[in-house]
Structure 1
Amino acid sequence: MSDSRIRVLHVVKSLNLGGTEKVMRLLVANLDRQRFNPVVYAAGNGEVGTQLRAQGITTHIGGDILKLLHSFQPHIVHIHRAGWPEPGQLTPMKLAKIPVVVETNVFGHHDPSPAALILDRTLFVSKFCLDRFAHVHGINACPPRYSFLYNPVDTDFLAKHALKNKDFSLPIAGRISRADPGKWSSLALEILPRLVQDIPNFQYHIIGGIPEAYDYVNTHRLDQNVVFHDPVHTDAEVADFMNELSLLAHANDTGESFGLVIAEAMACGLPVVTHPCEGLKDNAQLELVEHGVTGLVARTLEDYVGAVKYLLTHPEEAKRMGQNGQSKAAQLYRMQDIAAQLETIYTELLTLKGITS
């Protein structure tokens, strides 16, 4: 009996733990298997590959992608990439005459190369990235060529495992990122002496500590107030970490093209403190965190310290913002709904090419 499902090949550089890889996995795993046959190709293997295979998703690691395209014959190839030109990346899709090619443009960059003409849809991960792209490049960024699709979050799981009857007055804040200096802001450390001075028992939990952070904590003798944690690998570990906190303190000078950790904190019912970034840097964190609604936006060091102190000393307000964030995350980022939106996009693009499922 022949398989009449729509064949979709998702392409990503590696299957290591990372935001891009996690988003890809959640999209693939939530496609309707009765309608779609999803397969993943990556140059390198990793923990996300193990997770995919455990969910019954076939993965191809390394090897000739053109050979795979000819053997699998996907109706759709979906590439997850930064958005800028990468020589040779799109050539195999052209050579294999793939009917529909979609990209998730993670960082909102522009690919003006002739190879990019093969793309049928560019999906930005936030409205901010879509709007900035249109403004900077003077492109009418609208369907069918352009649109945005929020990153998926397992909001059901995180909400279910969020601590019930949380005490938002506990003086505990936290942050999660990769252990990469590019994911940090000086705000993340400079707030600490002031907070500890006013709230001596303040605790700051960090996942993704960098050498500068360890040095700062040692130099300022903050080791009794700061706890460094190992990286988390699963949503259960994310939920456990969030359950320790009264708020998420987000600080990243490069900003966020979406803000997966912010969305996960919201899904766990936490209020978020964040800050804007200057110029044309990523600012989707302000799309997720609405000031006074789902958290607080601080523009200066003094504002940031004040925002954290306000939430810790006004637990009912912190709870209200956390509940608002949880509702917003469920409404906009729920992985099952995002995958259903992606299925609609796939179907529409195939129809435009005269291919019906």
Structure 2
Amino acid sequence: MEKKIKIIECADQLGLGGTEYALQLYCKYLDKEKFDVTAVGLYKGGEREQLIKGLGIKVVVLNGDFNEFEKIIEGTDVFHWHGYGQVDEKLFASLNKNKPRLIIQTNVFGHFEKSPFYDLIDFDLYISKMILVRRMALDGSYAEQFVGKRKVLPYPVDIDFLKDENIEPPLADVEQFKIKHNINDCFVVGRVGRADDHKFDMITLTAFAEYLNYNNNAKFLLVGATKRMLALIKKLKITNSVIILDNTTHMKQLLTYYKAMDVFLAASNIGESFGMVMAEAMSMGVPVVTISTPAKDNAQVEVVDNGDTGFVTYRLKETIAAAINQICCNPEQAKLFGKNSIQKIYRSYRAQDIVHSLEQLILKNLGIEFKDAPYLIVNWDNDLKADYKNRCSNLFGQPNLIGKIKVRYYQTFAYKVHNKLFSIIRKMW
């Protein structure tokens, strides 16, 4: 190839969020012999600027200067936009003036606006099957015209980096950590996430309290706590069973948290559009117990294969506790779950394979020959829809009559309204 393909990796900002992390991984793994890569922060920069520059990638922060953006976009072959699905009219008006050969959107939250600018996007890539299934259902017959445009390409997980001997903590370090926190002789359930009530489902703590009825020697490792979480811990009278730690940007320390856990308990109040923390825990060989949230984002049912890498349960404290106990009482099964989890991340989300899949999509559509490699882009079809439906119904545990009523209620519009109002009242309080 005589001339490199000029590609711009662009997001609103270059902070420490998951969207920007994915952008960084695309910058890291795009083939530099084929691609000339530039990272752009459209409105502001952030902590990830230096991390991307450290990869030898040119970084431009525009601070909303669209005149400068139009200069940068000249001669660009591929514009890769990392966004939430809403159309930024200033951005796409600028792109319309001097359209690159390909415009690709990584659609983080699966939103969509009926804007004429949407026609400029050649490929709308959703980061999980779940959000594409939901998007197509919401758009109804209108979505039929977008079947060729909308595809699934999951978020990249940098498992080779996480498993590097200089990054993954050795067993001795994990044991020292467990001794320090007096959890070396305990069954450890854990959660890692932002200290954010919007993201954290309190069923996590309620279910752990229920699990203590099975095993009163268990501990909960809570990384990222809020006042509301602490208040519930006190109300449930499980203070002595909970170890509270602050979040960290130090990857080796974060991986130590994961490896100290026997089970990662993932229950989000809003569900997951992908579920990076689950993927990180699985990279460390930790079985995951999560809940299905079909009325909300629900990509966790894709990341976790029920009965193979962990358990997906109903949003009921009884079934969650039973799933945790199943893993605790069956160490060989837990070991197999851990092994399968690592294999799942390598097979489905390995960063190099995700990025190479994007490369193949680009090269094919630019009419450039390429070597076949793992191709992880999934097209929209009825099989994808059926797989998601099956995952929503294939859950661990059998709720009783009251449990079934609760599950039905959690899926209703009334529950969503109740949850929203409760959230507003809590913020006002």
Q: What's the counterpart of residue 140 of structure 1?
A: 144
Letter in 2 for 1:291: N
Is 1:151 the counterpart of 2:160 in the alignment? no
Q: Distance in 2 between matches of 1:71 and 1:21?
A: 20
From the superposition, tell whether residues 271 and 171 of structure 1 become closer, same or farther in structure 2 (CA, over 3 Å). Answer: same
SS in 2 for 1:83: coil
Inter-CA distance 216–260: structure 2 relative to 1 (3 Å threshold):
same
- For residues 258 and 70 of structure 2, the distance between their equivalents in structure 1, rounded to whole angstroms, comes to 41
Between Structure 1 and Structure 2, whose CA radius of gyration is higher?
Answer: 2
Matching residue of 1:59: 59
Stretches of 4+ aligned residues off by more than 4 angstroms: 141-144, 162-170
Give aligned pairs, total: 351
Partner of 1:7: 6
After TM superposition, give the deviation of residue 169 of structure 1 in Å. Answer: 8.6
Identify which of 357, 361, 368 aligns with 1:341.
Answer: 357
Superposed CA deviations along residues 54-73 of structure 1, whole A, max 9, x for unmatched, are 11122112342442342453
Indicate the structure with greater helix content: 2
Q: How far apart in 1 are the matches of 2:291 and 2:214?
A: 21
| Alpha-carbon shift at residue 237 of structure 1 (Å) | 3.4
Q: Is structure 2 residue 286 aligned with structure 1 residue 284?
A: no
Displacement after TM superposition at 1:293 (Å): 0.6
Structure 1 unaligned residues grouped into runs of 5+:
none
SS at match of 1:182: coil
Stretch moving more, 29-38 or 253-262: 253-262
Residue 345 of structure 1: CA displacement?
1.4
Is contact 1:16–1:45 with CA below 8 Å preserved after alignment? yes
SS at match of 2:20: helix
1:20 is aligned to 2:36: no
Specify the alignment match of 2:334 in structure 1. 318
Q: Which residue of 1 aligns with 2:100?
A: 98
Report the Cα distance in structure 2 between the residues aligned to 1:356 and 1:143, rounded to whole angstroms: 25
Tell me the secondary structure at the aligned position of residue 22 of structure 2.
helix
Distance verdict in 2 for CA 1:33–1:144, change over 3 Å = farther
- 8 Å contact from structure 1 (residues 170, 246) kept in 2: no
**Counterparts in 2 of 1:211 and 1:234: CA distance versus 1, 3 Å:** same
Percent identical among aligned pairs is 28
Other structure's SS at 1:84 match? coil
In structure 1, the residue matched to 2:419 is none
Q: Which shows bigger deviation, 18-27 or 167-176?
A: 167-176
Answer whether contact 2:7 2:38 (CA < 8 A) is retained.
Answer: yes
Runs of 5+ consecutive residues of structure 2 not aligned to the other structure: 176-183, 371-429
Task: State the distance in 1 between where 2:83 and 2:250 align.
Answer: 23
- Could you list the per-position Cα deviations for residues 295-353 of structure 1 after superposition, in whole angstroms to 9, with x for gaps in the alignment? 011112100011112212222111111111110110111111111001111222333xx
Shift of 1:179: 2.0
Shift of 1:127: 1.7
Residues 1:72 and 1:82: Cα distance change in structure 2 (over 3 Å): closer
Q: Which moved more, 1:302-311 or 1:195-204?
A: 195-204
Contact kept? 2:188, 2:221, Cα under 8 Å: yes
Which residue, out of 94, 108, 111, partners 2:110? 108
Pick closer, same or farther for the CA change 1:356–1:293 going to 2, 3 Å.
closer
Partner of 2:222: 206
Q: Which residue of 2 aligns with 1:128?
A: 130
Please give the root-mean-square deviation of Cα atoms over the aligned residues, in Å: 2.5
Letter in 1 for 2:272: E
* Equivalent-residue separation in structure 2 for 1:94 and 1:188 (angstroms): 47
CA deviation digits over 1:134-186, x for unaligned, max 9? 22213237764121111111112334426669999941111122222221112
How far does the alpha carbon of each residue in 1:243-272 deviate from its partner, in whole angstroms, 9 at most, with x for none? 111111000131111111111111111110
Aligned equivalent of 1:30: 29
Using the alignment, how far apart are the partners of 2:29 and 2:106 within structure 1? 16
Aligned to 2:385: none
CA distance, structure 1, for counterparts of residue 147 and residue 52 of structure 2:
30
Distance 1:349 1:170, change over 3 A: farther
Query: Partners in 1 of 2:263 and 2:317 — Cα distance?
Result: 17
Within 2, Cα distance between the matches of 1:141 and 1:204? Answer: 48
